Chains A and B, each alone.
Chain A
């Protein structure tokens, strides 16, 4: 099959949209018809999916394990909130400002992050995340501290669409932002830069031996991922019109990691699938005490590591390839 294609055509074919992707994105419109009471939840899932996608860029593609990615999510959320409170209620400008500020913080921390590996790297991401969370807590004159940010005022989109309790506008907004960001991420992953990231993940030692500046690449993707996480945070802040400390805390960093790993890192769609499953499950089991929820998450994590190392999508892809060549 591939022998008849030129190398360039082969690579082109790899980057093309697959039918199942189109099905997936069409399916994201179904909540309007099938689950009209759950549109607020759907909106949150879309934002969480974007957050997980941003983590996938650094974890799934460049191999950077971060336990503090929520720092950027939180920066984006608080920036959007504070922007709407003191400056302007327009969502799009709030989104851009939040994304830029989160990217800036990401860029600054990337100089530290790119220099380290293994445990030191994990600890530094954790430490930076905790630092920012603590700073948000202490700066309660700005962030509202543990009471959360109050007084956000979001203007209707295009002057017409209000964020109401039914979530129709919220979902449309979140989904649109997710899709646009996804297109950008997809482009990045299929670019020469995306190939370099995969090289870093596949064999860090070989990269300098082919003349690659791995640290510069890591800094770039970290900055982009931080900006994307910030945009996800801004979307949540704008659609729920509140920002709580949980958006920047360790719990959120751990949760997004679980979502990504559950779906399968390094596949672009893993974070999306993982967030859907995780948040739908959490909503369904919201009655039980948090410890018991985390019991099952613990079991899930052990299961994924021992049995399904590439997450659900990895497992499905394995089944698919086995089914095709028996």
Chain B
């Protein structure tokens, strides 16, 4: 029989995996192009609402909506990249921050207008409800599913980055943009593609998040803070870093809520500030 702390660890890990799926896209695009995209979680929110609409209004099975959530967010990001983001790659940090915050504000307003301000519940398929008993702990099936999805995503990303030509181009461009360009790599296209991939993953994360944390129009900002913390702490451009940081934050948050609720989010902010002071580029970031 495992003590209840392992149950808390499990919940924290599952939450961390969700945060990882939400964050990894931002980490890679930030490391690649140094573009501060604070609208990242707005794309996640889009994916979430796509799933909600398909499941509630069109009776689609939940699992089938996941690829659509991914695709919708990816497609939306391509549109924004073409029209707006592309012009600001060399702009100041402030301009990028302001533009993307503006997009996030607009997305929140639109979501509130269409869907209202309350949380949108959906019915998850029966086989994902309930829990599995393992060594005296009740492990939620949905949480197991989350962990599985995150591991598949990690595997797919690692394989793509390390074993495909596209992945090599991304790694080269993250490492040294000027040299990559000099080698003939089309950095702009690489970025557009990576950006779409990252936003698509955010959309997937948004869809997955509905059953765990709920979806409402403020999602774009509430989770932005967590995502930014994970990206900064983990290191820009590092998948391993995002995974590690996400698990760290996920477990800290859940454990904090169980064992020290008076501290609230205090610990997470403190951890972030301390890690950044120690390693400004993040735990796994390039120095």
Contacts and interface: CB of A to CB of B under 8 A. Distances in A.
Q: Do chains A and B touch in the complex (CB under 8 A)?
A: yes
Contacts of A299: 102, 106
Contacts of B265: 130, 134
Contact of B36 (A119, A257, A298, A309): A119
B217 A305 contact: no
Which bucket holds chain B's interface residue count? 35 or more
B266 A122 contact: no
Interface centre among A130, A304, A306 (most CB of B within 10 A): A130
A257 B102 CA distance: 12
A16 interface: no
A220 to B, nearest CB: 20
Interface in A242-270: 254, 257, 261
Given A120-B280, A123-B232, A131 B273 contact: yes
Contacts of A294: 105, 108-109
A65 B263 CA distance: 28
Interface stretch (B91-99, B145-153, B243-251): B91-99
Nearest to B270: A131
B218 to A, nearest CB: 9
Main DSSP-derived SS at the A contact region:
helix
Nearest to B272: A127
Contacts, number: 114
Interface stretch (B10-18, B46-54, B110-118, B173-181): B110-118
B60 interface: no
A120 B106 contact: no
Interface residues on A, range: 35 or more
Interface string B246-269: 000000000000000011111001
A301 B99 contact: yes
A122 B93 contact: yes
Given A112-B273, A130-B269, A294-B109, A302 B102 contact: yes
Interface of B: 30, 34, 36, 84, 87-88, 91, 93-95, 97-99, 101-106, 108-110, 112-113, 117, 217, 225, 228-229, 232, 236, 262-266, 269-270, 272-273, 276-277, 280-281
Given A138-B264, A291-B109, 14 more contacts: A67-B97, A115-B277, A118-B93, A119-B36, A119-B232, A292-B109, A297-B102, A301-B99, A301-B101, A302-B99, A302-B106, A304-B98, A305-B99, A309-B95
